Amino acid sequence: MPTTDNIHRYLDEAFADIPRTPETADLKEEIRGNLQARVTELEATGTKPEAAAAKAIRELGDIHELVDSIGDAESAGGPGATAAKLIALNRVKLSPSYVVRTVLLSVLLAGGVTIVTVGSILGGLGIAEAWLVYALPVEAVLSGAFLGLIVGDALDHETSQHYPMQPRRASGFGLASFAALTGLGFIGTWFANPMLWILLAGCVLAVAALIAFIALGVTQTNRLKPWAKELNRTYAIEDRFTQDPASAARFGLYTVVIWVLAFAGFVVLSITVGFAWSWLALLGGLVVFFLVLARMLFPADSHKQ
pTM: 0.57
Tell me what the mean pLDDT of segment 140-155 comes to: 94
State yes or no: pLDDT of 177 exceeds 80: yes
The domain segmentation of the chain, as residue ranges, is: 7-89, 95-194+224-236
Whether the CB-CB separation of 123 and 189 falls below 8 Å is answered with yes
pLDDT of res. 305: 45
Say how far apart CA 101 and CA 107 lie, in whole Å. Answer: 10
Q: What's the CA gap between 67 and 43, in Å, rounded?
A: 28
Higher pLDDT, 167 or 91: 167
The predicted pLDDT at position 76 comes to 43
Identity (one letter) of the amino acid at 58? R
In order, the DSSP letters of 30-63 are HHHHHHHHHHHHHHHTT--HHHHHHHHHHHH--H
Confidence of residue 259 (pLDDT cuts 50, 70, 90): confident
What does pLDDT average to over the chain? 78
By C-alpha distance, which of 70, 6, 1, 68 is closest to 35?
6
CA–CA separation, 238 and 75 (whole Å): 23
Return the closest-CA partner of residue 184 out of 152, 207, 217, 150.
207
What pLDDT, on the 0 to 100 scale, is given for residue 1? 43
pLDDT at 40: 82
* Minimum mean pLDDT range among 31-45, 159-173, 218-232, 234-248: 234-248
- Could you count the other beta carbons within 10 Å of the beta carbon of residue 49? 16
- pLDDT grade, residue 73 (50/70/90)? very low
Helix orientation angle between 49-60 and 7-14, rounded to the nearest 10 degrees: 20
DSSP output for 60-104? H--HHHHHHHTHHHHHHT-HHHHHHHHHHHT--PPPHHHHHHHHH
In angstroms, the CA 283 to CA 285 distance is: 5
**Quick one: which of 279, 150, 304, 255 has its CA closest to 203?**
279
203 falls in which pLDDT band (50, 70, 90)?
A: confident
Span 198-206, average pLDDT:
89
Show Cβ contacts of residue 31 under 8 Å, excluding neighbours closer than 6 positions: 11, 60, 63, 66
Phi, psi (degrees; rounded to nearest 5) at 224: -65, 140
Mean pLDDT of 226-230: 68
Asked whether 224 and 273 are in contact (CB, 8 A), the reply is no
